[in-house]
Amino acid sequence: MAKLDLLSRSRRSMPTGAEGALGFAAGLAVVGGFWLARRLSRTVPAGRGHPIKHQVLDGAAALAQRKIPLESMNTYLNGFHMYADDMGRQVEASHFCMHLAPDLHQCVIFDSNAKDARLIGIEYIISAERYERLPDDEKQLWHSHHYEIKSGQLVAPGIPQMAEHAYFEDLVTTYGKTFHTWQVDRDDFPYGVPQLMMAFTDDGQIDAEKLAERDRRLGVDSDKRRASRVDIPTPQVHPKANCWQSGQSVQTGLHTCAFHRTDGHGQAE
Protein backbone atom coordinates (compact mmCIF):
# COMPACT_ATOMS: atom_id res chain seq x y z
CA MET A 1 0.00 0.00 0.00
CA ALA A 2 2.84 2.34 0.89
CA LYS A 3 4.53 1.58 -2.42
CA LEU A 4 1.35 2.38 -4.34
CA ASP A 5 0.95 5.64 -2.44
CA LEU A 6 4.58 6.63 -3.13
CA LEU A 7 4.15 5.84 -6.81
CA SER A 8 0.94 7.83 -7.08
CA ARG A 9 2.53 10.82 -5.36
CA SER A 10 5.57 10.69 -7.63
CA ARG A 11 3.30 10.62 -10.67
CA ARG A 12 1.35 13.56 -9.37
CA SER A 13 4.62 15.52 -8.93
CA MET A 14 5.69 14.94 -12.53
CA PRO A 15 4.58 17.70 -14.93
CA THR A 16 2.17 16.90 -17.71
CA GLY A 17 3.09 17.64 -21.33
CA ALA A 18 1.30 20.98 -21.19
CA GLU A 19 2.91 21.90 -17.88
CA GLY A 20 6.33 20.97 -19.21
CA ALA A 21 5.81 23.13 -22.29
CA LEU A 22 4.71 26.05 -20.17
CA GLY A 23 7.73 25.65 -17.92
CA PHE A 24 10.05 25.54 -20.90
CA ALA A 25 8.41 28.63 -22.37
CA ALA A 26 8.75 30.43 -19.06
CA GLY A 27 12.43 29.55 -18.92
CA LEU A 28 12.93 30.87 -22.44
CA ALA A 29 11.11 34.05 -21.49
CA VAL A 30 13.45 34.57 -18.53
CA VAL A 31 16.54 33.96 -20.64
CA GLY A 32 15.16 36.12 -23.44
CA GLY A 33 14.34 38.91 -21.03
CA PHE A 34 17.83 38.76 -19.57
CA TRP A 35 19.37 38.86 -23.06
CA LEU A 36 17.10 41.72 -24.11
CA ALA A 37 17.95 43.68 -20.98
CA ARG A 38 21.65 43.27 -21.66
CA ARG A 39 21.23 44.35 -25.28
CA LEU A 40 19.17 47.36 -24.32
CA SER A 41 21.57 48.33 -21.58
CA ARG A 42 24.32 48.50 -24.16
CA THR A 43 22.28 50.70 -26.49
CA VAL A 44 21.50 53.52 -24.11
CA PRO A 45 23.60 56.47 -25.36
CA ALA A 46 26.62 56.94 -23.14
CA GLY A 47 26.51 60.72 -23.18
CA ARG A 48 24.02 62.72 -21.18
CA GLY A 49 21.10 64.73 -22.52
CA HIS A 50 20.15 62.49 -25.45
CA PRO A 51 16.46 62.90 -26.40
CA ILE A 52 14.19 59.94 -25.68
CA LYS A 53 13.54 59.65 -29.43
CA HIS A 54 17.22 59.04 -30.12
CA GLN A 55 17.47 56.51 -27.29
CA VAL A 56 14.48 54.57 -28.65
CA LEU A 57 15.82 54.61 -32.21
CA ASP A 58 19.28 53.52 -31.05
CA GLY A 59 17.76 50.70 -29.01
CA ALA A 60 15.62 49.51 -31.91
CA ALA A 61 18.58 49.57 -34.29
CA ALA A 62 20.68 47.58 -31.82
CA LEU A 63 18.05 44.85 -31.70
CA ALA A 64 17.23 44.80 -35.41
CA GLN A 65 20.66 45.14 -36.99
CA ARG A 66 23.75 42.99 -36.85
CA LYS A 67 27.10 44.75 -36.89
CA ILE A 68 29.14 41.92 -38.33
CA PRO A 69 32.46 43.77 -38.77
CA LEU A 70 32.26 44.93 -35.14
CA GLU A 71 31.48 41.40 -33.98
CA SER A 72 34.63 40.24 -35.75
CA MET A 73 36.87 42.60 -33.78
CA ASN A 74 37.81 40.00 -31.20
CA THR A 75 41.13 41.28 -29.88
CA TYR A 76 41.55 44.18 -27.44
CA LEU A 77 45.03 45.69 -27.09
CA ASN A 78 46.10 48.65 -25.00
CA GLY A 79 49.23 50.66 -25.67
CA PHE A 80 50.55 54.13 -26.44
CA HIS A 81 51.17 56.19 -29.56
CA MET A 82 53.09 59.38 -30.13
CA TYR A 83 52.61 61.93 -32.89
CA ALA A 84 54.97 61.29 -35.78
CA ASP A 85 56.45 64.79 -35.43
CA ASP A 86 56.38 65.19 -31.63
CA MET A 87 57.48 62.59 -29.07
CA GLY A 88 56.12 64.77 -26.27
CA ARG A 89 52.54 64.26 -27.44
CA GLN A 90 51.71 60.77 -26.19
CA VAL A 91 48.26 59.18 -26.26
CA GLU A 92 46.91 55.99 -24.69
CA ALA A 93 45.22 53.87 -27.35
CA SER A 94 42.69 51.07 -26.92
CA HIS A 95 42.76 48.95 -30.07
CA PHE A 96 39.96 46.62 -31.17
CA CYS A 97 41.24 44.43 -33.97
CA MET A 98 40.19 41.79 -36.45
CA HIS A 99 42.54 39.40 -38.25
CA LEU A 100 41.45 40.17 -41.82
CA ALA A 101 44.10 38.06 -43.61
CA PRO A 102 47.10 35.98 -42.53
CA ASP A 103 49.36 39.02 -42.97
CA LEU A 104 46.90 41.82 -42.17
CA HIS A 105 45.07 43.02 -39.06
CA GLN A 106 42.84 46.10 -38.96
CA CYS A 107 41.97 47.96 -35.78
CA VAL A 108 39.74 50.78 -34.63
CA ILE A 109 41.17 52.86 -31.81
CA PHE A 110 39.32 54.43 -28.88
CA ASP A 111 40.65 56.47 -26.00
CA SER A 112 39.39 53.86 -23.51
CA ASN A 113 37.46 50.61 -23.21
CA ALA A 114 34.30 52.22 -21.85
CA LYS A 115 30.76 52.98 -23.03
CA ASP A 116 31.59 56.64 -23.52
CA ALA A 117 34.90 55.98 -25.30
CA ARG A 118 35.82 58.37 -28.10
CA LEU A 119 36.76 56.98 -31.50
CA ILE A 120 40.20 58.47 -32.13
CA GLY A 121 41.84 56.53 -34.95
CA ILE A 122 42.64 53.45 -36.97
CA GLU A 123 45.64 51.15 -37.34
CA TYR A 124 46.62 48.60 -39.94
CA ILE A 125 49.09 45.87 -38.93
CA ILE A 126 51.01 43.85 -41.49
CA SER A 127 53.61 41.12 -41.50
CA ALA A 128 57.30 41.77 -42.06
CA GLU A 129 57.06 40.01 -45.41
CA ARG A 130 54.33 42.34 -46.64
CA TYR A 131 56.21 45.37 -45.31
CA GLU A 132 59.28 44.38 -47.35
CA ARG A 133 57.19 44.61 -50.52
CA LEU A 134 55.96 48.16 -49.87
CA PRO A 135 57.32 51.09 -51.92
CA ASP A 136 60.01 53.04 -50.07
CA ASP A 137 57.87 56.17 -49.72
CA GLU A 138 55.14 54.04 -48.12
CA LYS A 139 57.55 52.35 -45.71
CA GLN A 140 58.21 55.64 -43.89
CA LEU A 141 54.59 55.76 -42.69
CA TRP A 142 54.92 52.57 -40.67
CA HIS A 143 56.32 51.79 -37.22
CA SER A 144 57.66 48.58 -35.74
CA HIS A 145 56.08 46.79 -32.77
CA HIS A 146 59.18 45.12 -31.36
CA TYR A 147 59.81 47.54 -28.48
CA GLU A 148 56.14 47.95 -27.52
CA ILE A 149 55.95 44.21 -26.99
CA LYS A 150 59.37 43.54 -25.51
CA SER A 151 59.00 46.43 -23.03
CA GLY A 152 55.63 45.22 -21.74
CA GLN A 153 53.94 48.47 -22.74
CA LEU A 154 51.53 46.78 -25.17
CA VAL A 155 49.09 44.52 -23.31
CA ALA A 156 45.99 42.46 -24.01
CA PRO A 157 43.94 43.04 -20.84
CA GLY A 158 41.83 40.24 -19.48
CA ILE A 159 43.30 37.24 -21.26
CA PRO A 160 45.66 34.72 -19.62
CA GLN A 161 49.28 35.78 -19.85
CA MET A 162 50.20 32.52 -21.56
CA ALA A 163 47.76 33.32 -24.37
CA GLU A 164 48.94 36.91 -24.48
CA HIS A 165 52.55 35.73 -24.74
CA ALA A 166 51.71 33.43 -27.66
CA TYR A 167 49.87 36.24 -29.45
CA PHE A 168 52.78 38.66 -29.07
CA GLU A 169 55.29 36.08 -30.27
CA ASP A 170 53.67 36.53 -33.68
CA LEU A 171 52.98 40.27 -33.41
CA VAL A 172 56.54 41.25 -32.44
CA THR A 173 57.75 41.11 -36.06
CA THR A 174 54.88 43.17 -37.49
CA TYR A 175 54.56 46.80 -38.55
CA GLY A 176 51.71 49.25 -38.02
CA LYS A 177 50.39 52.31 -39.83
CA THR A 178 48.31 54.50 -37.55
CA PHE A 179 46.32 57.69 -38.01
CA HIS A 180 44.52 59.45 -35.19
CA THR A 181 41.42 61.36 -36.28
CA TRP A 182 40.84 63.06 -32.92
CA GLN A 183 43.65 64.90 -31.12
CA VAL A 184 42.30 64.10 -27.67
CA ASP A 185 45.44 65.39 -25.97
CA ARG A 186 44.50 68.89 -27.13
CA ASP A 187 40.85 69.15 -28.14
CA ASP A 188 37.43 68.04 -26.93
CA PHE A 189 36.26 67.79 -30.56
CA PRO A 190 37.78 66.02 -33.61
CA TYR A 191 39.26 69.12 -35.26
CA GLY A 192 41.71 69.08 -38.12
CA VAL A 193 43.10 66.40 -40.37
CA PRO A 194 44.10 62.89 -39.31
CA GLN A 195 47.59 62.76 -37.82
CA LEU A 196 50.20 60.10 -38.45
CA MET A 197 51.27 58.36 -35.25
CA MET A 198 54.34 56.35 -34.31
CA ALA A 199 55.46 53.98 -31.56
CA PHE A 200 58.29 54.06 -29.04
CA THR A 201 61.50 52.20 -29.77
CA ASP A 202 63.60 52.47 -26.60
CA ASP A 203 63.56 53.05 -22.85
CA GLY A 204 63.16 56.60 -21.57
CA GLN A 205 60.80 57.71 -24.32
CA ILE A 206 57.38 57.08 -22.80
CA ASP A 207 56.01 59.29 -20.04
CA ALA A 208 56.53 57.10 -16.96
CA GLU A 209 53.57 58.65 -15.14
CA LYS A 210 51.20 57.90 -18.02
CA LEU A 211 52.39 54.31 -18.11
CA ALA A 212 52.09 53.85 -14.34
CA GLU A 213 48.57 55.34 -14.30
CA ARG A 214 47.49 53.00 -17.14
CA ASP A 215 48.94 50.01 -15.29
CA ARG A 216 47.07 50.89 -12.09
CA ARG A 217 43.78 51.43 -13.89
CA LEU A 218 43.92 48.22 -15.90
CA GLY A 219 45.50 46.13 -13.17
CA VAL A 220 48.57 45.20 -15.20
CA ASP A 221 52.30 45.41 -14.47
CA SER A 222 54.43 46.48 -17.42
CA ASP A 223 57.67 45.50 -15.68
CA LYS A 224 56.41 41.96 -15.05
CA ARG A 225 55.19 41.79 -18.63
CA ARG A 226 58.67 42.82 -19.81
CA ALA A 227 60.30 40.11 -17.70
CA SER A 228 57.90 37.45 -18.97
CA ARG A 229 58.65 38.36 -22.60
CA VAL A 230 62.43 38.24 -22.39
CA ASP A 231 62.36 34.93 -24.29
CA ILE A 232 60.58 36.48 -27.30
CA PRO A 233 63.28 37.06 -29.93
CA THR A 234 63.90 40.67 -30.95
CA PRO A 235 63.46 40.93 -34.73
CA GLN A 236 65.64 42.81 -37.16
CA VAL A 237 63.77 46.07 -37.83
CA HIS A 238 63.72 47.47 -41.36
CA PRO A 239 65.70 50.76 -41.53
CA LYS A 240 62.86 52.54 -43.37
CA ALA A 241 60.44 51.99 -40.46
CA ASN A 242 60.23 54.44 -37.53
CA CYS A 243 61.39 57.22 -39.84
CA TRP A 244 61.47 59.79 -37.02
CA GLN A 245 64.61 58.13 -35.63
CA SER A 246 66.62 59.79 -38.42
CA GLY A 247 65.78 63.22 -37.01
CA GLN A 248 63.38 63.92 -39.89
CA SER A 249 59.77 62.74 -39.94
CA VAL A 250 56.59 63.07 -41.98
CA GLN A 251 53.15 64.36 -41.02
CA THR A 252 49.83 65.04 -42.70
CA GLY A 253 48.51 68.47 -43.65
CA LEU A 254 46.02 70.26 -45.89
CA HIS A 255 46.75 71.74 -49.29
CA THR A 256 44.61 73.47 -51.89
CA CYS A 257 44.03 71.53 -55.11
CA ALA A 258 41.92 71.59 -58.24
CA PHE A 259 38.55 69.86 -58.09
CA HIS A 260 37.72 67.54 -60.99
CA ARG A 261 34.00 67.47 -61.84
CA THR A 262 32.22 64.78 -63.83
CA ASP A 263 28.76 66.37 -64.11
CA GLY A 264 29.68 69.00 -66.72
CA HIS A 265 29.00 71.98 -64.47
CA GLY A 266 31.67 74.61 -64.16
CA GLN A 267 33.78 73.21 -66.99
CA ALA A 268 35.25 75.62 -69.52
CA GLU A 269 33.56 75.47 -72.95
Q: Per residue in 233-252, pLDDT tens? A: 999 999 999 999 999 999 99
pLDDT band at 53 (very low <50, low <70, confident <90, very high): confident
Q: Kindly state whether residue 261 falls inside one of the protein's structural domains.
A: no
Looking at the structure, do residues 51 and 79 belong to the same domain, yes or no? no
Asked whether the predicted pLDDT for residue 30 surpasses 70, the reply is no
What pLDDT sits at residue 62?
A: 73
Looking at the structure, do residues 59 and 79 belong to the same domain, yes or no? no
pLDDT band at 13 (very low <50, low <70, confident <90, very high): very low
- Which DSSP category does 165 fall into? H
Q: Kindly state whether residue 5 falls inside one of the protein's structural domains.
A: no
What pLDDT sits at residue 63?
A: 79
What pLDDT sits at residue 268?
A: 52
Q: Kindly state whether residue 135 falls inside one of the protein's structural domains.
A: yes
What pLDDT sits at residue 119?
A: 98
Looking at the structure, do residues 181 and 57 belong to the same domain, yes or no? no
Looking at the structure, do residues 90 and 48 belong to the same domain, yes or no? no
How far apart are the C-alpha atoms of 264 and 268, rounded to whole Å?
A: 9
Strands, DSSP E only, in the chain? 75-83, 86-101, 104-110, 119-126, 143-144, 175-180, 195-198
Asked whether the predicted pLDDT for residue 24 surpasses 60, the reply is no
Looking at the structure, do residues 45 and 178 belong to the same domain, yes or no? no
What pLDDT sits at residue 54?
A: 73
pLDDT tens string 138-178: 999 999 999 999 999 999 999 999 999 999 999 999 999 99
Q: Kindly state whether residue 160 falls inside one of the protein's structural domains.
A: yes
What average pLDDT score do residues 219-239 get? 98
What pLDDT sits at residue 46?
A: 55
Which phi and psi (to 5°) does residue 101 adopt? Answer: -150, 165
Looking at the structure, do residues 218 and 94 belong to the same domain, yes or no? yes
Q: Which domain holds residue 220?
A: 69-246
Looking at the structure, do residues 54 and 74 belong to the same domain, yes or no? no
Asked whether the predicted pLDDT for residue 36 surpasses 80, the reply is no
What pLDDT sits at residue 48?
A: 61
Q: Kindly state whether residue 262 falls inside one of the protein's structural domains.
A: no
- Cβ distance 234 to 178 under 8 Å? no
Nearest to 140 by CA among 238, 16, 220: 238
Beta bridge partners of 86: 83
Average pLDDT, the chain: 86
Q: Kindly state whether residue 162 falls inside one of the protein's structural domains.
A: yes
Looking at the structure, do residues 104 and 218 belong to the same domain, yes or no? yes
CA 137, 174, 68: angle at the middle one, nearest 5? 100
Q: Count Cβ neighbours within 10 Å for each residue of 159-172 and write b for 16 or more, e otherwise.
A: eeeeebbeebeebb
**Number of other residues whose CB lies within 10 A of the CB of residue 94:** 20
Looking at the structure, do residues 127 and 224 belong to the same domain, yes or no? yes
Asked whether the predicted pLDDT for residue 31 surpasses 90, the reply is no
Task: Look at the chain and report how many structural domains it folds into.
Answer: 2
Alpha helix stretches (DSSP H) within 72-205 = 128-132, 136-139, 146-150, 161-171
Looking at the structure, do residues 119 and 79 belong to the same domain, yes or no? yes
Looking at the structure, do residues 57 and 131 belong to the same domain, yes or no? no
Looking at the structure, do residues 192 and 125 belong to the same domain, yes or no? yes
How far apart are the C-alpha atoms of 1 and 7, rounded to whole Å?
A: 10
- Which DSSP category does 236 fall into? P
Beta bridge partners of 107: 97, 123
How far apart are the C-alpha atoms of 144 and 198, rounded to whole Å?
A: 9
Q: Kindly state whether residue 155 falls inside one of the protein's structural domains.
A: yes
